[in-house]
């Protein structure tokens, strides 16, 4: 399930303060199961030592075309032929210009020029001052590199080492890692729009109290990430959770079940797949107090009555698009016991082609899960694994069913 496991990547560093992030990236790539060969320019050595990157990669670092370790003196050929991809991070403005014009005056640029273009993709993570990034020359270079087949990653926005603020920062290591995982993921959902709900809902009793559940949203966010990496356009409707938005995913934050229902209704017409992962509260208080309900010392508890929330999944599953097959609906069931029986009954009740069941108390807030896929033909278990691995498997399963 890890698309970087077993990959051999050449990580190239050109000059820039963002070289410190390359150290983090190197470590993250190795942790993800990739082998990493680092190649540095002379300018990069002013910001990061080869010793550091050798320790992190577990491999000697190359800095010169004339490295005596290569018996044929052809490091640019040998290193590029062994790679599954070449990743330049940071890629300075100067190095982008070199790539554009085919200049090859150091090992890194020579290796990029000599790589087999049909077999070894080149990805670059730009890093520079905001004015350098906005300069028309840089923007022309980036546009032409993209036209030439180079994968140019986004830049970050924020404070820069020079003291200015704006676009041009290199992405953080985790963001680049996510982009690389996405790059190597088979694009089984290209052209599809996927709508995902995730997390709990919160139903207010008064301004400081409410009814909710223990859902962390991790499974839904993992599914949104997996769908985006599979090539889909993804919209994520999220209840109140403190999770980072997956890269490339459009996020809509909501709080209550009715807010989630409205957000889904506004988005579902554009979707071909709807995955209802959210643990939506079934009921809400029929009235919400304007002020905090106070204890009065009498021992009497406040009398609360409840009304049923709208059934988001059932409403979408019974829509015209779902009935004609233009919308594929996937429901989730978080149960406490008798999972298969309850999940099977819920699938029939909601009228969805696929229902995914799990045991809520054993997965809420956790990084792993076990899933039960229930359809008209029966049930199949996905054994306990990380939620991200299960999300990748579930997205592949949905793509096959389409």
- Count of H helices and E strands in the chain? 14, 19
pTM of the model: 0.88
Run of H or E residues at 321: helix 320-323
As to burial, measured by CB atoms within 10 angstroms (0-12 exposed, 13-18 middle, 19+ buried), residue 101 is exposed
The token duo for 86 is: 């070449």
Q: Which of 185, 192, 264 is nearest to 226 (CA)?
A: 185
Strand 203-206 vs strand 209-211: parallel, antiparallel, or unpaired? antiparallel
Q: Vertex 33, ends 114 and 382: CA angle to 5°?
A: 130
Cα–Cα distance measured from residue 29 to residue 26, given in angstroms and rounded to the nearest whole number: 5
Distances (CA, A) of 349 to 14, 290, 375: 58, 37, 12
Residue among 19, 26, 112, 162 flagged as catalytic: 162
State the pLDDT at residue 300. 86
State the pLDDT at residue 75. 87
State the pLDDT at residue 296. 84
Cα–Cα distance measured from residue 62 to residue 106, given in angstroms and rounded to the nearest whole number: 11
User: What dotted CATH number matches 193-283+307-401?
Assistant: 3.40.50.10300
Q: Is 296 helix (H, G, I), strand (E, B) or coil?
A: coil
Same fold, 8-184 and 193-283+307-401: yes
Residue 354 φ/ψ, nearest 5 degrees: -140, 130
Run of H or E residues at 183: helix 173-184
Distances (CA, A) of 12 to 21, 163, 348: 12, 26, 54
Structural domain boundaries in the chain = 8-184, 193-283+307-401
**Whether 292 contacts 207, CB under 8 Å:** yes
Run of H or E residues at 113: helix 107-114
Cα–Cα distance measured from residue 76 to residue 370, given in angstroms and rounded to the nearest whole number: 46
Q: Under CATH, domain 8-184 is a member of which superfamily?
A: Flavin prenyltransferase-like (3.40.50.1950)
Whether 162 is a known active-site residue: answer yes
What are the pLDDT tens digits along the chain (402 aa)?
579 999 999 999 999 999 999 999 999 999 999 999 999 999 999 999 999 999 999 999 999 988 888 878 888 998 999 999 999 999 999 999 999 999 999 999 999 999 999 999 999 999 999 999 999 999 999 999 999 999 999 999 999 888 999 999 999 999 999 999 999 999 999 999 999 999 999 999 999 999 999 999 999 999 999 999 999 999 999 999 999 999 999 999 999 999 999 999 999 999 999 999 999 999 999 999 999 999 888 888 888 999 999 999 999 999 988 889 899 999 999 999 999 999 999 999 999 999 999 988 888 989 999 999 999 999 999 999 999 999 999 999 999 999
To which residue do tokens 């491999």 refer?
A: 59
Cα–Cα distance measured from residue 355 to residue 350, given in angstroms and rounded to the nearest whole number: 9
State the pLDDT at residue 1. 55
State the pLDDT at residue 59. 96
As to burial, measured by CB atoms within 10 angstroms (0-12 exposed, 13-18 middle, 19+ buried), residue 201 is buried
């Amino acid at each position: 399930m890890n698309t970087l496991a077993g990959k051999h990547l050449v990580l190239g560093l050109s000059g820039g303060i963002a070289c410190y992030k390359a150290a983090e990236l190197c470590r993250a790539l190795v942790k993800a199961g990739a082998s990493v060969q680092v190649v540095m320019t002379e300018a990069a050595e002013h910001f990061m030592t080869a010793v550091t990157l050798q320790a992190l990669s577990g491999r000697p670092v190359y800095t010169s075309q004339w490295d005596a370790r290569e018996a044929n003196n052809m490091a640019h050929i040998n290193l590029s032929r062994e790679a599954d991809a070449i990743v330049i991070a940071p890629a300075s403005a100067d190095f982008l210009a070199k790539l554009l014009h085919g200049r090859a005056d150091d090992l890194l640029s020579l290796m990029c020029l000599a790589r087999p273009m049909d077999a070894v993709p080149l990805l670059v993570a730009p890093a520079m001052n905001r004015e350098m990034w906005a300069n028309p020359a840089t923007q022309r270079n980036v546009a032409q590199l993209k036209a030439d087949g180079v994968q140019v990653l986004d830049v970050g926005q924020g404070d820069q080492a020079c003291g200015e603020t704006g676009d041009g920062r290199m992405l953080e290591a985790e963001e680049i890692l996510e982009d690389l995982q996405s790059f190597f993921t088979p694009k089984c959902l290209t052209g599809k729009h996927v709508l995902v709900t995730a997390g709990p809902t919160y139903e207010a009793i008064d301004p400081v109290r409410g009814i909710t559940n223990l859902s962390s949203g991790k499974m839904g966010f993992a599914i949104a990430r997996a769908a985006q990496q599979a090539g889909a356009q993804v919209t994520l409707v999220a209840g109140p959770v403190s999770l980072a938005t997956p890269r490339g995913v459009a996020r809509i934050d909501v709080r209550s079940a009715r807010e989630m229902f409205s957000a889904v209704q506004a988005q579902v017409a554009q979707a071909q797949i709807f995955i209802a992962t959210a643990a939506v509260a079934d009921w809400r208080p029929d009235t919400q107090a304007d002020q905090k309900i106070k204890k009065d010392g009498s021992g009497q508890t406040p009398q609360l009555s409840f009304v049923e929330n709208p059934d988001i999944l059932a409403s979408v599953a019974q829509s015209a698009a779902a009935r004609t097959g233009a919308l594929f609906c996937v429901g989730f069931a978080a149960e406490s016991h008798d999972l298969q029986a309850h999940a099977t009954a819920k699938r029939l009740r909601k009228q969805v082609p696929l229902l995914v069941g799990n045991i809520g108390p054993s997965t809420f807030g956790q990084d792993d899960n076990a899933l039960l896929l229930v359809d008209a033909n029966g049930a199949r278990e996905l054994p306990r694994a990380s939620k991200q691995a299960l999300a990748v498997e579930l997205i592949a399963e949905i793509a096959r069913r389409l």
